[in-house]
Structure 1
Amino acid sequence: MTDRDPLYRRHRFPAEIIAHAVWLYFRFPLSLRMVEDMLAARGIIVSHQTIRLWAEKFGRTFANQIRQRSCGRLGDKWHLDEAVISIRGETHWLWRAVDQDGFVLERLVQSRRNAKAAKRLMRKLLKGQGRAPRVMVTDKLRSYDAARREVMPGVEHRSHKGLNNRAENSHQSVRQRERVMKRLKSRRQLQRFISIHDPIANLFHIPRHDISASHHRQLRAAAMNMWPEIARI
């Protein structure tokens, strides 16, 4: 490529191959070695370490662009939840917030499951979304209400275990990746991965309820057409 995008300069592989490798890694629950094998099956010989570097460098750029495009377009009903994560034998908590359609709004790995941790998530949510929600839905953890009274006192809060399945389901992608990777090396590694993974997953997340198969295919095609634009290929 004689006029390749500055983002890809000094990389010997074409932009299309790099973007495709990043897409495979974050779009599906694949390990780096699995992506390496899938590229090798097409005659593209690249090491899994190189794919890791691509995922960190280019994935972050792609994720930032997706976040900018989706700013202000996500829902006003926030579902918050926390899931326990074991990292090198130590207990951590993955706090997540999704909207009513299942799009991930925010994610935060913390070592505590208390009101201080809940407040940190809510403040990050408000900063990222630029507005408070219409309603907030959580499980029965009392820390949420304590944090809400301080951070978002005017927001309606619904606390019920059965109402929060949407947020609980959002942890599945991390659970799948955890199994593929065998183990998580550090809290920083997990935070870095989900900060890239979730925006890319949002781009290809298409709610299946109340839409026809043809409409679903149209939305999927629109997401696939947007990816080359985001990846600058």
Structure 2
Amino acid sequence: MKPLSFKRHRFPTEVIKHALWLYFRFSLSLRDVEDLLAERGIEVSYETIRCWAKKFGPVIARRLKRLRPAPSPRRRLDKMVCGVGGRRMYLWRAVDDEGEVLDLLMQWRRDTQAAKKLLMRLLGRQPVEPERIAIDGFRSYPAALAELGLEHLHRAGRLRENNRAENSHLPIRQRERRMQGFKSQASAQRFLTTHAAVYNTFYTQRHLISRPTVRRFRAEAHAAWAKATA
């Protein structure tokens, strides 16, 4: 993996990487990250942190995705309403049955073509072919699957089958409230894509595994972050 270049930046590499980790890993605003760094004697403006996130965030997200193992072939599709620039938009999302975010797409539309666009991205970017796609009762999903010739993968019905997608909305809602809404479609897409990659890397179901396993998973996540930002 080609080293990530932090040249021509006034602050040391470790400061930039730590600021990005704080911002994307936790529900913190830019000003919160600025205060945390100031407590350690590092005076950096929140606008500088914003520029770092805009420049390095998408690159780090792509590197983290390449380091992830292959996802489950069982998919869940769902959408949620987000406020973007004072207007209503729809965030279309796909997760697997382990809760990992596979792809997301911010769109103005809420129709068959919007669902088809998400499915085409999902089919083109994932290394594993889907075995089953669980959806809610929204009619655009079956129509989009029919246009793509994937009716045999369609599985609708009981609400609990889509709980993974529904529950994975919570981190996005937390960030949306913290950021007081997204400012534009492009910035929302860029931030949420990076946030999803970092979330996938550090997410563990701690209530289902032993403490030694949690420590091992956490060490592996930090190793992946270190490799992606090397």
Shorter chain as denominator, the TM-score bin is over 0.9
Q: Alpha carbon RMSD of aligned pairs, Å?
A: 1.6
Q: Alignment partner of 1:139: what SS? A: coil
The aligned length equals 227
Matched, 1:230 2:196: no
Residue 134 of structure 1 corresponds to which residue in structure 2? 131
The one-letter amino acid of 1:142's match is R
Q: 2:84 aligns with which of 87, 92, 102?
A: 87
Consecutive unaligned residues of structure 1, counting only runs of 5 or more, are none
What CA deviation, in whole Å up to 9, does each residue of 1:173-192 have, x standing for no partner?
A: 22111111112211111111
Q: Alignment partner of 2:43: what SS? A: coil
Q: 1:50 aligns with which of 35, 48, 51?
A: 48
What CA deviation, in whole Å up to 9, does each residue of 1:129-175 have, x standing for no partner?
A: 14431100111111111111222425422213221111012221221
Q: Alignment partner of 2:93: what SS? A: strand
Q: Higher mean Cα deviation, 209-218 or 94-103? A: 209-218
Q: Alignment partner of 2:103: what SS? A: strand
Residue 180 of structure 1 corresponds to which residue in structure 2? 178
The one-letter amino acid of 1:92's match is M
Superposed displacement of residue 86, structure 1: 2.1
CA contact (8 A) 2:4 2:229 kept: no
TM-score, length of structure 1 as denominator length? 0.92
TM-score, length of structure 2 as denominator length? 0.93
Consecutive unaligned residues of structure 2, counting only runs of 5 or more, are none
Query: Alpha carbons of 1:132 and 1:226: their partners in 2 closer, same or farther (altered >3 Å)?
Result: closer
Output aligned runs, 1:17-28, within 5 Å.
Answer: 17-28=15-26
Residue 156 of structure 1 corresponds to which residue in structure 2? 153
Q: Alignment partner of 1:67: what SS? A: helix
Query: Alpha carbons of 1:16 and 1:95: their partners in 2 closer, same or farther (altered >3 Å)?
Result: same
Matched, 1:121 2:108: no
CA contact (8 A) 2:93 2:101 kept: yes
Q: Alignment partner of 2:5: what SS? A: helix
CA contact (8 A) 2:85 2:183 kept: yes
Residue 103 of structure 2 corresponds to which residue in structure 1? 106
Runs of 4+ in 1 over 6 A off after TM superposition: none
**Percent of aligned pairs sharing the same letter:** 45
Query: Alpha carbons of 1:14 and 1:144: their partners in 2 closer, same or farther (altered >3 Å)?
Result: same
Residue 193 of structure 1 corresponds to which residue in structure 2? 191
